[in-house]
Amino acid sequence: MPKDHGIGASDKRREDVRFLTGAGHYTDDIKTYGATTAIFCRSTVAHGIIKSIDTSAAENMPGVLAVFTGADFADVGGNPAGWLINSRDGTPMKEPKRPVLAHGKVRHVGDAYAAVIAETELQARNAAEAIVAEIEELPAIVDMAAGLAGDAFVHDEIGTNQCFDWGWIEDNRAATDAAIKAAPHVTTLELVNNRLVPNAMEPRCSIGNYDAGNDSYVLQTTSQNPHLTRLLISAFVMGIPENKLTVIAPDVGGGFGSKIYHYGEEALVLAAARKIGRPVKWTADRTEAFLTDAHGRDHVTKIELACEKDGTFIAFRTETMANVGAYLSNFSTATPTFLHGTLMAGNYTVPNVYVNVKAVFTNTAPVDAYRGAGRPEATYSIERVIDKAARELGIDPIAIRRKNFVKPDQYPFVSAAGLEYDSGNYDALMDTLEKHIDREGFKARRKESEAKGMLRGLGLNAYIEACGIAPSNLVGVLGSRVGLYDAATVRVNATGNLSVMVGAHSHGQGHETVFPQIVGEMLGIDPQSIDIVHGDTSKIPFGMGTYGSRSLAVCGSAMVRATEKIIAKAKKIAAHMLEASADDVDFKDGQFTVKGTDKSVSFGEVALKAYIPHNFPLEDIEPGLEETAFYDPANFTYPSGAYACEVEVDPDTGKVRVDRFIAVDDFGNIMNPMIVTGQVHGGLGQGIGQALLEGARYDADGQLLSASYMDYTMPRADDLPFYTVDHANGTPCTHNPLGVKGCGEAGAIGSPPTIVNAVVDALQSAGKNVTHIDMPLTPLRVWEAMHKA
Amino acid sequence: MASVAMVVNGKSVTKEVEGRTLLVDFLRNDLRLTGTHVGCDTSQCGACVVHVNGQAVKACTIFAVEADGAEVATIEGQANKDGSLNVIQQAFQDHHGLQCGFCTPGMVMSAAALLKENPKPTEADVRSYLEGNICRCTGYHNIVKAIMAASGQDVTAIAAE
């Protein structure tokens, strides 16, 4: 029976009321007295030498307050990569400087080389057009293989377009090669994980404010992690002391990864605010978002699966080229490596895994973590090649997966890619999936489709991912330059209500509802008396933000620890009030009771006592009731799942329709089923979008052909079906206090291979020897594949 | 500059605007009704849908002066008189039809226009009508479900939230 309140209940979201009435506060909604507008001059060529920039006309135009070019930031620091990757030969990755504004060269279409600050947006736009930049166009490096082979470089100073050549696990390379050489069957697949644009519906927006009286700054910005932005600006880019810089992210209209990172526009508005002494605001238009938000995916991969004739896996070997674009975005080097290569054993007991990733600079927008971040790429490669192998060997696609699954009695299980999976039950997930998919019924549905002249396919998939990033000790060894703990402060106010300051920052995930459900249950008080405070570095102890499905597993754990400290202190106060020993005081349902008596005080009475400490044992207990905890996870969490879908393919047009989609997930314990289901839905929408519709396309000159919603196909309501989602029977995470694993990215990880497997199945059912089609599976690509086969 | 007068959420307003001012910018900047959002530059995303004389309109596709004399309704005026959520808004909350909330005002305004035209839409009707509203968070499942629920239809057969 589902609970009606507290942990595990589908509490309705309290934040919805303001979003549904137009009372939300997104960054662009902030109107500040005296605010000015920043407009950027962006390169229209992908690669070129900046010969000169003439700003004189612009500077004299009406309303113009300041003009900046790259020269103004030549002496400040660069925006760094957060993760150092070493190549197979031990050399560190190449780290060219990423400046606030391009200086010397422009390196992708949209690369900003100048900015105008003016009284109004119109004046700024007019002045930006009056800036004359002489840019000598160079051939663009767009194709990764050509970029690696050629002698023209995105960054001349590093003399190569290769950022790193990484092997995982390098010591396993020889054994994997030998196992593949000796294997009775090897299936090979070459595939492209298509480049995507995250497309949060709220475009990025930043407002810089400077207070000359205190020599301090406030940055209001669209960010998934304000503290990281502050840290990067302070420690690397501008040198503003952290205590002089407040970063505030108010309501954030989606992110999906793209708002994790610090961008140059944030530094620019701060510098400009200081220079002119007034607030400076920049709001991206949608085409700027397409050109400059960090993109996702963009891997070109060859994967081999070696197996016995009976389908027992022997080895996975992967060679991938990963596009990092023109500059290293903050997590761009971790995404194709430690968030991808370490997952390349999948859900399987395969003994040999080796992954080689070459990261390549190109004259395209930076590429970084986008919903799933490396795990979708891993899952896609593994689950596509397994499907192909099953077909070659004549083994049922579910049977071949089950044959190789890690079994429930094998946990903790150290995979051949080096991660220690703490819990899971992949066979149970597949059992549940099989109940939902009704394979017998599928045969009848296929016949019905065929009677209409359509083809029907069934696609299957199993996935595992690593979430709750991440244990600082482990990631430190692996090259991370940050820790990945999180923090929370629980402040009990004198009147018994609570403010809970958390380092995670919701941008649609419902933290304001779910976090109070947890604290409320722990304290036995009404969650409505608890408010979450987030997104403001001046109010929160610290935080590493929301991404990597980490908010609940990491920040939620910090919040639990802080609440436990509150209970421990409150017990001492209660014991004093009840004239008992703290050891004799029980706490349940918001009441402190002396064991074996009817003497009790409520949580509210204790809170009041803490702030009005008359007759208080000050030598033993401080007044006040506020506790902070930092939590650093012991391991990643490992959500897993089994997905299926049925598609109908029109053989005359190649159009694919998703008829049904079933997602069975193990997220561990569930705090709010309604919200978890919504997270899966959203991930599925993006994953199905990747599989069928979306793709960022650059032409050979590095022009982004898909830079608006008229060119980039966003999934619309009529592209998608109702989904069946089941996460009822998870195996709890063994190492965090709530037993939670994270659910934000699963849908986007598990769905692309499910769709492609289904389309291949549909075409095979018509006798077409189609073994693979690269995403997105547009009607043209499907039709061409059918007609070539 | 031109003078425009219109009734916005039942209140008469008169302002001087430039001829080029879009209705969405007029609402957001001049009237400070920031619930109507801008998510694109090409009239694709639908975050700015408002009602002009009862019709759903993307407020980025018309100039403020074109709404001179019109009745304009925005998300800020949708709640019941007592401040409680209206039927559509309540259905969006009940069925988790929103996550980040950025597309939501446009979705609610489109849904209201749909239900006025078609009080009992099928799933296909709803999906087709929302062609001009993009949501990146929900995968649309709960939006479609919420709108069908708001129309008084039984949605319990649609997979649970």
| Domain A299-470+635-788, classified CATH 3.30.365.10, yes or no | yes
- With vertex at residue A766, the alpha carbon angle to CA A761 and CA A767, rounded to the nearest 5 degrees, is 95
Q: Which of B77, B112, B127 is the last residue of a domain?
A: B77
Q: Which of B58, B77, B96 is the last residue of a domain?
A: B77
- With vertex at residue B142, the alpha carbon angle to CA B139 and CA B146, rounded to the nearest 5 degrees, is 145
Which parts of chain B register pLDDT below 70? 160-161
Rounded Cα gap, residues B63 and A280, in angstroms: 26
Structure pTM?
Answer: 0.97
CB contact under 8 A, A253 and B37: yes
The segment(s) of chain A belonging to CATH 3.90.1170.50 are 31-138+202-253+259-292
Is residue B159 a part of any domain in this protein?
no
Q: Which residues are registered as beta bridge partners of A666?
A: A640
For A153, other C-beta atoms within 10 Å of its C-beta total 18
Looking at the structure, tell me whether residues B73 and B114 fall in a common domain.
Answer: no
Sign of CA pseudo-dihedral A573, A579, A584, A589: negative
Looking at the structure, tell me whether residues B70 and B93 fall in a common domain.
Answer: no
Looking at the structure, tell me whether residues B29 and B65 fall in a common domain.
Answer: yes
CB contact under 8 A, A22 and B33: yes
For residue A686, the chain B residues in CB contact (below 8 A) are 136, 139
Question: Which residues in chain A (506-545) have CB-CB distances under 8 A to chain B?
Answer: 507-510
CB contact under 8 A, B79 and A21: yes
Question: Which residues in chain B (19-58) have CB-CB distances under 8 A to chain A?
Answer: 28-29, 32-42, 44-45, 47
Looking at the structure, tell me whether residues B54 and B116 fall in a common domain.
Answer: no
Looking at the structure, tell me whether residues B62 and B110 fall in a common domain.
Answer: no
Mutate to test the interface with A, among B76, B87, B140, B148 (most CBs of A within 10 A): B140
Looking at the structure, tell me whether residues B64 and B35 fall in a common domain.
Answer: yes
For residue B89, the chain A residues in CB contact (below 8 A) are 20-21
* CATH number for the domain harbouring residue B93: 1.10.150.120
**Nearest-by-Cβ selection for A682 from B32, B89, B139:** B139
Is residue B94 a part of any domain in this protein?
yes
CB contact under 8 A, A23 and B143: no
CA of B90 vs chain A CAs: smallest distance (Å):
9
DSSP A373: T
Is residue B113 a part of any domain in this protein?
yes
What ipTM does this complex have? 0.98
**Nearest-by-Cβ selection for B140 from A26, A708, A720:** A720
Looking at the structure, tell me whether residues B69 and B120 fall in a common domain.
Answer: no
Looking at the structure, tell me whether residues B8 and B63 fall in a common domain.
Answer: yes
For residue A16, the chain B residues in CB contact (below 8 A) are 92-93, 98, 101
Rounded Cα gap, residues A4 and A662, in angstroms: 26
Q: Residue B71 sits in which domain range?
A: 2-77
Q: Which of B55, B77, B99 is the last residue of a domain?
A: B77
Is residue B160 a part of any domain in this protein?
no
Residue A778 token pair: 């547009």
Looking at the structure, tell me whether residues B39 and B8 fall in a common domain.
Answer: yes
For the domain spanning A485-631, the CATH number is 3.30.365.10
The pLDDT, as a whole number, for residue A5 is: 81
Domain covering A31-138+202-253+259-292: architecture: Alpha-Beta Complex (3.90)
Mutate to test the interface with A, among B32, B45, B87, B99 (most CBs of A within 10 A): B99
Looking at the structure, tell me whether residues B73 and B118 fall in a common domain.
Answer: no
Domains held by chain B: number: 2
Rounded Cα gap, residues A714 and A199, in angstroms: 9
Q: Which residues contact A342 (CB under 8 A, 6 or more apart)?
A: A168, A417, A418, A419, A466
Q: Identify whether the C-beta of residue A639 lies closer than 8 Å to the C-beta of residue A670.
A: no
Mutate to test the interface with B, among A126, A201, A711 (most CBs of B within 10 A): A201
Rounded Cα gap, residues A694 and A776, in angstroms: 6
CB contact under 8 A, A254 and B100: yes
The pLDDT, as a whole number, for residue B160 is: 55
Is residue B161 a part of any domain in this protein?
no
Is residue B122 a part of any domain in this protein?
yes
**Nearest-by-Cβ selection for B101 from A19, A684, A718:** A19
pLDDT along chain A (789 residues), means of 10: 81 98 98 96 98 98 98 94 97 97 98 98 98 98 98 97 98 98 98 98 98 98 97 96 98 98 98 98 98 98 98 98 98 97 98 98 98 98 98 98 98 97 98 96 97 98 95 92 95 97 97 98 96 98 94 97 98 96 95 96 97 92 97 97 98 98 98 98 98 98 97 98 96 98 98 98 97 98 94
The pLDDT, as a whole number, for residue B157 is: 87
The pLDDT, as a whole number, for residue A431 is: 98
Looking at the structure, tell me whether residues B69 and B96 fall in a common domain.
Answer: no
Question: Which residues in chain B (70-109) have CB-CB distances under 8 A to chain A?
Answer: 74-76, 78-79, 85, 89, 92-94, 96, 98-105, 108
Mutate to test the interface with A, among B32, B102, B123, B145 (most CBs of A within 10 A): B102
Give residue A465's Cα distance to chain centre. 12
CB contact under 8 A, B102 and A26: yes
Rounded Cα gap, residues A70 and A665, in angstroms: 48
The pLDDT, as a whole number, for residue B161 is: 44
Looking at the structure, tell me whether residues B91 and B49 fall in a common domain.
Answer: no
